[in-house]
Amino acid sequence: LEQKSPEAFAIVVLDNASIHRSALFLRKELEWRAQRLYVIFLPTYSPELNLIEILWRKIKYEWLPVTAYQSFSSLTSHVLQVLSGYGEKYRINFV
Which pLDDT value is given to residue 26? 84
Which tens digits make up the pLDDT trace of 9-30?
A: 999 988 888 888 888 888 888 8
pLDDT tens-digit readout, 34-85: 899 999 988 887 878 778 888 999 999 999 999 999 999 999 999 999 999 9
88 — pLDDT class (breaks 50, 70, 90): very high
**Cβ–Cβ under 8 Å, residues 80 and 64:** no
64 Cβ contact list (under 8 Å, min separation 6)? 75, 78, 79, 82
Q: Which of 70, 63, 68, 54 is nearest to 85 (CA)?
A: 63
Q: Would the pLDDT of 1 be above 80?
A: no
- Rounded distance between C-alpha atoms, residue 71 and residue 48, angstroms: 29
For residue 17, the model assigns a pLDDT of 81
Q: Report pTM.
A: 0.55
